[in-house]
Amino acid sequence: MAPDPLIAAGVPGLVDLDPATFRAAAHQVVDLIADYLEGVEGYPVFPAIEPGSLRALFPAAAPDAPVPLGEILADYQALIVPNATHWQHPGFLAYFATTASGPGILGEMLTAALGQNPMLWRTSPIGTELEGVVVDWLRQALGLPEGFDGLLTDTASTSTLIAIAAAREAAGLKASAEGLAGRPELADGVRVYASAEAHSSIEKACMTLGLGRASLTRIAVNDRYEMDPAALAREVAADRAAGRVPLAVVATIGTTSSTSVDPVTAIAEIAEAERLWLHVDAAYAGPVALLPELRAPFAGWERADSIVVNPHKWLFTPLDASLLLTRRMDQLRAAFSLQPEYLRTIDRVRPVRDYNEYQPQLGRRFRALKLWILIRAFGLDGLRARIAGHLALAAEVREWIAADPDWELLAPTPFSTVCFRYHPAGVSESMLDELNAAVMDAVNRTGEVFLSHTRLAGRFTIRLAIGNLRTEERHVARAWELLRREAARLGAGG
């Protein structure tokens, strides 16, 4: 970029990049992006660096003078890309994958340029109404009945927070208006229930919402890591007897550690009998319900008050996009609606859907656009085929592990995530955690694949989670090869 002509001329600076400069730079960026995606396997999935090593690469203060775009893009290539964790790499088998698919990237490009803020219908008619379209497309595709409405949020954390905030209102607490402090009827506390394996976002929602971590009762799981509904019923009864106010239960279809599936129908029975809000966390596994023949794990979720499914996990959508479906939009509105004068609009048609009234934030990104593009570009059949492919790969990995006597499966594999450890004969239980941590670390240090871990029944557990759009059989086969190689090396040395 040439020196800013307006500053040079002493004219008040009021302009963007000149159009030709922008167009040329954007084409250059597209080539950087396309080259990156084509060559992503050339990067180590996780870079060989330690915390604190990057900050010194950058100047301590921002420049006063403009930097040419060419220099900025060169710095991007030199400083940013090599120091990223490559979530786009097909060897990314950690956590749950987020893929920014090609259609998703095109969607984000257009989203950025169009600059919508669908906080009000009036601030983005298309952003508002297309959100309604896409939410309903997904509802139908997931096999959920009419009556579920919803919205797109940033993350499952926010979706679950909204659900529990709505539960506060549905229980008649008037928490939004009156708060939770100094309420004699709540003197003995409020309770939210989730399994011992449920995601930390539920606990965080309780923290944020003023319920406190103490309000979350963790329900015991069986040896398949599924919530025990009898234990739930006992806890609710004990809480009622003690004067506490049970509010909501979160059932998980696809827990984070082992992707276990809570018995939603049994939990729904209890929730209905006890008048608890039922929130279903299917943030990871939800897209499997796009395949009608694979909906068994989802039985009962249509009875939920709210459901979260994350397109930015297993629907190949760039961060961020979380789908919150609910049969009770009115309770979301009770929890979050405010209409200051500066947000009132002169609309001739009522009621108007102003999505800011259903979530904690006022400002909103136009997330429906990338989903509209992505769903059409792949087609539902294309999405189904890719999810089915991941499930088949996971089944294959599971077979490899089951067939090797030195390795041990540590949980069922209902979806695409395999939980296991190295457990050679003659190594005592007390040594296994350290050995498996070392094996995983050694595999990750190859840079070819990236795995993460959890603990199941107290045991260090390696997770191999398939969900990246670009992962093929050769990548998981290589992961298995590296695991065995490093295990043999470290096991022998141990």
Give, as ranges, the residues between 395 and 434 that touch a copy of itself (CB under 8 A): none
Contact (CB, 8 A) for 287 and 314:
yes
**Residue 142 half-sphere exposure toward CB, CA atoms < 13 A:** 31
312 binds a copy of itself (CB under 8 A): yes
CA 287 – CA 216 distance, rounded (Å): 27
Touching a copy of itself, residues 171-210 (CB under 8 A): 174-183, 186-190, 199-201, 203-210
- Contact between 294 and a copy of itself (CB under 8 A)? no
Closer to a copy of itself by CB, 273 or 474: give it. 474
234 is an interface residue for a copy of itself by CB under 8 A: no
Binders in 82-141 for a copy of itself, by CB under 8 A: 83-88, 95, 98-106, 108-117, 121-127, 129-130, 132-133, 136-138, 140-141
Among 2, 293, 296, 348, binds a copy of itself (CB under 8 A): 348
Nearer to a copy of itself, 16 or 429 (CB): 16
C-alpha angle 242/243/244, rounded to 5°?
95
Scanning residues 366 to 385, which ones bind a copy of itself (CB under 8 A)?
369, 372-373, 375-382, 384-385
223 belongs to the binding site for a copy of itself (CB under 8 A)? no
Binding-site size, a copy of itself (CB under 8 A)? 190
Considering only residues 140 to 169 of the shown chain, the ones binding a copy of itself according to CB under 8 A are: 140-141, 154-158, 161, 165, 168
Nearer to a copy of itself, 228 or 417 (CB): 417
Residues 258-287 that bind a copy of itself (CB under 8 A): none
Under a CB-based contact definition with an 8 Å cutoff, are residues 326 and 279 in contact?
no
Buried-exposed string 81-94: b where 16+ CB fall within 10 A, e elsewhere: eeeeebbbbbbbbb
Least Cβ distance, residue 353 to a copy of itself (angstroms): 8
Listing DSSP states for 354-409 in one string gives -GGGGSS-S----HHHHHHHHHHHHHHHHHHHHHHHHHHHHHHHHHHHHH-TTEEE
Subset of 466-485 contacting a copy of itself (CB under 8 A): 469-472
Report in angstroms how near the CB of residue 248 gets to a copy of itself at its nearest. 14
Burial of 421 (0-12, 13-18, 19+ CB in 10 A): buried
Q: Among 135, 152, 171, 211, which residue interacts with a copy of itself (rule: CB under 8 A)?
A: 211
Q: Does 74 bind a copy of itself (CB under 8 A)?
A: no
Beta-carbon count within 10 A of 244 CB: 19
Among 2, 42, 52, 293, binds a copy of itself (CB under 8 A): 52
**Least spacing, CB of residue 11 vs a copy of itself, in Å:** 8
Contact 439, 422 (CB under 8 A): yes
- Nearest approach in angstroms of CB 263 to a copy of itself is 22
Q: With contact defined as beta carbons under 8 Å apart, do 418 and 398 qualify?
A: yes
Listed residue (313, 315, 312) closest to 383, CA to CA: 315
Distance separating alpha carbons of residues 185 and 389, to the nearest angstrom: 52
Considering beta carbons, is residue 143 or 265 the nearer one to a copy of itself?
Answer: 143
Q: Figure out which of the listed residues 78, 214, 238, 431 binds a copy of itself, where binding follows CB under 8 A.
A: 214
Shortest distance, position 491 Cβ to a copy of itself, whole Å:
18
Q: What's the burial of 399, exposed, middle or buried (CB within 10 Å: 0-12/13-18/19+)?
A: exposed
How far apart CA 435 and CA 422 sit, in angstroms, is 8
Q: What residues have CB less than 8 Å from 464, skipping those under 6 apart?
A: 93, 394, 397, 417, 418, 420, 451, 476, 479
Is 291 a binding residue for a copy of itself by CB under 8 A? The answer is: no
Q: Choose one: 212-220, 223-231, 263-271, 397-405; the region binding a copy of itself (CB under 8 A).
A: 212-220
**171 SS3 class:** coil
